[in-house]
Chain A
Amino acid sequence: MADIIAAGTPAPPFVLRDEQGEEVTNETLRGQTAVLVFYPFAFSPVCTDQFQVYEEVLDEFEAAGAKLYGVSCDATWSQKAFREKLGVSIPMLSDFEPKGAVSRAFGAYFEPGGMSARAIVILDPEGVVQFSWLGEHPGVMPGANVIFDGLAAKA
């Protein structure tokens, strides 16, 4: 698996799609601390737990000035259905076409599975990587503590 993008690196240019199909780029996320939560597939068991854990403390992420986004290679409609089924409000961004291009650019693509890896990338308001984490395999889920550790890395 490629190395996850290192802290201190400017984010590569990227284009993702939100649930309405609108583009989300580096410029869209500039000015905020954006937490990109890369995950393999909508509706897979581990991904389900992951977002429900984060949803529980969303107010505390917000208090820390961070906004979470889920990123996978699923189509936007699948991601929307997934988010609604989970009952979570964390927006999902699609890396569907070209498949995995953004995940690869961040070093968060799992080639053997043809899917995004399980990874966390935190972008600071200037679009520079503040923190990154890559699971040793896609079954390893980052707890909320991992994200808060990353947010504290800047402080």
Chain B
Amino acid sequence: MDLTSAPVPPLRPDDHVRGPDDAPLVVVYADFACPHCAVAHARLTAPDAPPLRVVFRHFALKAKHPRAPALAAAAEAAALQGAFWPFHDSLFEDRGRQADPHLWERAERLGLDVERFDRDRRGDAVAERVRRDVREGMRAGVTTTPTLFIEGRPEAGPPTTARLRKVRNEKKHEGVGDPTAGPGKDNSI
């Protein structure tokens, strides 16, 4: 795969996105085993966090955190049964329980088909999905987690609440339209 520099990819139909449609788009490259990513998650989802439209993409490096690829695959397997965000949230909010039995327990608690979840998380399709995110992140210059792309510009490390509010406020003052209007349009990425 070509790993030369490239802009962060624009929003795609298979991206994991949540938040109001008219909110500023923030693309997060993260790793479920990364404590700094857990901090970013906490700040993005705090009760007083400003509304943002968050896209999650994987940056799971085995050398950095040996469990990272497995956790990313588990989240993608949950996604195949429509449960990406609940699974994502549970991984960051209970980082002390990330071994396989805990993953099965999470899947069961979320009402997933556990056998299918376990099969999918070990499958090639899920591995390729995670790999795609990691490599595209590398092409966009991601070197650490979390890295947030705000209006196409990377910011490394967990964002402060003040920074998130600034992003929201700048968007309100610009009065920009549809953030998912695709490449070349403001706030697509």
Interface, chain A (partner B; CB < 8 A)? 46, 49-53, 55-57, 60, 86-88, 141-146, 148-149, 152
Interface, chain B (partner A; CB < 8 A)? 1-6, 61-64, 66, 134-135, 138-144
Tell me if A50 and B135 are in contact (CB < 8 A). no
Most buried by A among B5, B62, B138: B138
Q: A56-B61, A145-B138 are in contact. Are A49 and B4 (CB under 8 A)?
A: no
The majority secondary structure among interface residues of chain A is: helix
Tell me if B5 and A145 are in contact (CB < 8 A). yes
Tell me if A143 and B138 are in contact (CB < 8 A). yes
The CA of A52 and the CA of B63, in the complex, are separated in Å by 5
Q: Which residue of B lies closest to A60 (CB)?
A: B3
Residue in A51, A57, A86, A152 whose beta carbon sits within 8 Å of that of B4 in the complex: A152
Q: A49-B144, A145-B139 are in contact. Are A88 and B63 (CB under 8 A)?
A: yes
The majority secondary structure among interface residues of chain B is: loop
The CA of A88 and the CA of B162, in the complex, are separated in Å by 37
Q: A49-B144, A50-B143, A56-B134 are in contact. Are A145 and B61 (CB under 8 A)?
A: no
Between A and B, 27 residue pairs with Cβ closer than 8 Å are A46-B144, A49-B64, A51-B63, A52-B61, A52-B63, A52-B64, A53-B61, A53-B138, A55-B61, A55-B63, A56-B62, A56-B134, A56-B138, A57-B3, A57-B138, A60-B1, A60-B3, A88-B63, A143-B141, A143-B143, A145-B3, A145-B4, A145-B138, A145-B141, A148-B4, A149-B5, A152-B4
Tell me if A141 and B144 are in contact (CB < 8 A). yes
Known contacts A56-B62, A145-B4, A145-B139; can you find 15 more A-B pairs with CB under 8 A? A49-B143, A50-B143, A51-B63, A52-B63, A53-B138, A53-B143, A55-B63, A56-B138, A142-B143, A143-B138, A144-B138, A145-B6, A146-B5, A146-B141, A148-B4
